[in-house]
Structure 1
Amino acid sequence: MSLTEQQIRTAVLEELGNVAPDAELDGLDPSEDLRDALDIDSMDHLNLMIALHKRLGIEIPERDYPKLLTVDAAVAYLLARAG
């Protein structure tokens, strides 16, 4: 399955909205640390990793979770793994 950058970005933002439903995603800086920008904790971040894995079918090893702390970083990581 080949995914585009836009498909991955959409998935990241939608799953982020599911994990943090009260978060304001419209003005989110894609280079800002999600934990600070949206006040999500490590459990929310774990849930986001699980949701992205299920939705996109891309394996995300636990050791790589810190590489997905911004929207831009998550998109770049997932795009590289999808290819």
Structure 2
Amino acid sequence: MAPDTDPAALPQDADIRDALELDSLDFLTYVQTLSESSGCRIEEDDYPAFATIAGGADFLAVHAT
């Protein structure tokens, strides 16, 4: 993650990978952490939904148990 970035200040529609300078492994870790925390299985086909905070929140609101 970019050291001078405040994740709480990100716009809901900002591309997380660009804003936080995440590489592929960082993004995978992010999605896996959300999956474990929410109890929601997130498939690789679902990853594009997590490109933004709003998209991830919407996905989890519909799919989380």
TM-score range, shorter-chain basis? 0.7 to 0.9
Unmatched runs of 5 consecutive residues or more in structure 2: none
- The aligned runs of 1:49-60 (5 Å cut-off) are 49-60=31-42
2:6 paired residue number: 24
Q: Distance in 1 between matches of 2:13 and 2:2?
A: 20
Q: 1:81 maps to which residue? A: 63
Q: Which runs of 4+ in 1 moved over 4 A?
A: none
**Equivalent residue for 2:47, pick from 59, 65, 75:** 65
CA contact (8 A) 2:2 2:21 kept: no
Aligned residue pairs, count: 64
Q: CA deviation at 1:26?
A: 3.1
- Corresponding residue of 1:38: 20
Q: Which amino acid aligns with 2:19?
A: A
Q: C-alpha distance in 2, partners of 1:67/1:26?
A: 19
Percent identical among aligned pairs is: 31
CA distances 1:44-80 after superposition (whole Å, capped 9, x unpaired): 1100111111111100011111121000000000111
